[in-house]
């Protein structure tokens, strides 16, 4: 009996060791739902004061997966973004897993790590709302960025910042997102909004209206990534939205409305898309209507989000659904008063 027990333990240990020695699958990483515990060790004050673009510094990351697999490897990190870099306690982070020192994590490439602007509970709740936006759009469209929730532990290499933890999330690499959709990404190229795939652009514009986000632009390559059909050079590029922290859905204290919209708060919706026919709009609205129950379920079953925030978000989306079910409002908002340039 003891021999059998020893053999079982040995086989289990060998299996675990084998699993921990495997490279991470970048696709499965963003398909699996379980939360990852992530410890990031680096010079935090250095990252806080760094102002240059792509100024990477040494770091170590330790990932504990839901099945208890642990991978710990040296990587590099850099501050990213503009507004939040100046405004927030710790800037948003670009994590570069693709290093000779991180063979198991290298398939993940460079990932954006979205973190709280501050360290209190409200900052966490705002971040969780933005995470939900990505998950909602995943329900509506495959050409979208997948995300993975993490519990992030910060550790300063020089001991000048006290260790602390908060929720954060990683965003799928844009190249991986493109490949997953039989597309390719290219170096930033300028396109007019109406020079992208029309049906998808309609969905993107309606989605941005739904969450009340005016902080995006196709021509300016702002919070929109374009990907291109790898099998059809003549096809128009597809628009993929990201970065939603200035939306009314999140309603962050630092978010202000786009001056061009003429709104007083970020929660006041304004349509930034171009006119569409009623038939085009109704076809797009049907996609949103078909996912309404799934979206509400996603919000209500998201354990880390506070109950009052769940209620507010569902109510906020109810207003959107009320609008798209009213043909007079649809005519006024999405056709008569849509942008023309």
pLDDT tens digit sequence for 75-87: 999 998 766 666 7
Q: Is residue 87 part of a domain?
A: yes
For residues 243-269, average pLDDT: 91
Name the percent of the chain lying above pLDDT 70. 91
- β-partners of residue 231 are none
pLDDT at position 53 is 66
What crossing angle do the helices spanning 307-324 and 121-140 adopt, rounded to 10°? Answer: 40
For residues 220-237, average pLDDT: 96
Same domain for 191 and 114: no
Per-residue model confidence as pLDDT tens digits over 85-111? 667 878 889 999 999 999 999 999 999
Angle ∠(334,178,148) on CA atoms, nearest 5: 85
Q: Which of 174, 197, 231 is the last residue of a domain?
A: 174
Q: Please give the structure tokens belonging to residue 25.
A: 């699958």
16 vs 328, residue with greater confidence: 328
Same domain for 234 and 134: no
Answer whether residue 71 shows pLDDT above 80. Answer: yes
Answer whether residue 19 shows pLDDT above 50. Answer: no
> Where in the sequence is the domain holding 272, given as residue range(s)?
182-336
**pTM (two decimals):** 0.91
Same domain for 238 and 127: no
Answer whether residue 139 shows pLDDT above 90. Answer: yes
Note whether 148 and 36 are within 8 A (CB).
yes
Q: Which of 129, 146, 174 is the last residue of a domain?
A: 174
Same domain for 213 and 156: no
Per-residue model confidence as pLDDT tens digits over 165-188? 999 999 999 999 999 999 999 887
Q: Is residue 309 part of a domain?
A: yes
Same domain for 252 and 159: no
Q: Is residue 228 part of a domain?
A: yes
- The sheet with strand 238-241 has its strands ordered as 183-185, 224-229, 238-241
Q: Is residue 16 part of a domain?
A: no
Same domain for 281 and 234: yes
For residues 220-238, average pLDDT: 96
Residues 6+ apart with CB under 8 A from 179: none
Q: Is residue 90 part of a domain?
A: yes
162 pLDDT band, cuts 50/70/90, is confident
Output phi, psi for 312, to 5 deg.
Answer: -65, -40
Q: Is residue 64 part of a domain?
A: yes
311 vs 13, residue with greater confidence: 311
pLDDT at position 88 is 80
For residues 205-232, average pLDDT: 96
- Going by the DSSP 8-state scheme, the letter that residue 186 receives in this structure is -
Q: Which of 174, 190, 211 is the last residue of a domain?
A: 174
Q: Is residue 272 part of a domain?
A: yes
Same domain for 287 and 143: no
Element (H, E) at 140: helix 121-140
Domains contained in the chain, number: 2
């Amino acid at each position: 009996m003891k021999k059998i027990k020893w053999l079982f333990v040995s086989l289990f240990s060998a299996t675990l060791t084998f699993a921990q020695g495997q490279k991470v699958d970048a696709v499965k990483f963003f398909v699996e739902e379980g939360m990852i515990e992530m410890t990031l060790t680096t010079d935090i004050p250095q990252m806080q004061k760094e102002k240059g673009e792509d100024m990477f510094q040494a770091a170590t990351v330790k990932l504990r997966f839901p099945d208890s697999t642990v991978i710990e490897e040296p990587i590099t990190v850099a501050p990213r973004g503009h507004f939040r870099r100046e405004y927030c306690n710790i800037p948003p982070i670009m994590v570069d897993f693709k290093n000779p020192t991180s063979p198991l994590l290298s398939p993940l490439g460079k990932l954006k790590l979205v973190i709280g602007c501050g360290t209190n509970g409200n900052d966490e709740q705002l971040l969780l709302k933005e995470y939900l936006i990505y998950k909602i759009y995943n329900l509506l469209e495959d050409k979208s960025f997948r995300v993975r929730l993490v519990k992030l532990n910060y550790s300063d290499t020089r001991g000048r910042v006290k260790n602390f933890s908060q929720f954060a999330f990683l965003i799928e690499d844009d190249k991986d997102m493109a490949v997953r959709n039989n597309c390719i990404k290219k170096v930033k190229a300028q396109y007019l909004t109406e020079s992208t795939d029309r049906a998808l652009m309609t969905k993107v514009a309606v989605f941005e209206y739904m969450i009340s986000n005016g902080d995006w632009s196709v021509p300016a390559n702002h919070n929109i990534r374009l990907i291109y059909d790898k099998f059809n050079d003549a096809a128009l590029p597809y628009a993929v939205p990201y970065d939603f922290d200035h939306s009314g859905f999140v309603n962050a204290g630092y978010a202000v409305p786009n001056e061009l919209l003429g709104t007083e708060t970020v929660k006041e919706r304004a349509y930034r898309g171009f006119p569409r026919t009623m038939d085009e709009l109704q076809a797009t609205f049907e996609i949103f209507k078909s996912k309404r129950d799934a979206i509400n379920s996603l919000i209500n079953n998201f354990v880390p989000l506070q109950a009052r925030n769940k209620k507010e978000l569902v109510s906020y989306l109810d207003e959107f659904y009320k609008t798209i079910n009213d043909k007079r409002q649809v005519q006024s908002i999405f056709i008569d008063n849509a942008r023309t340039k």
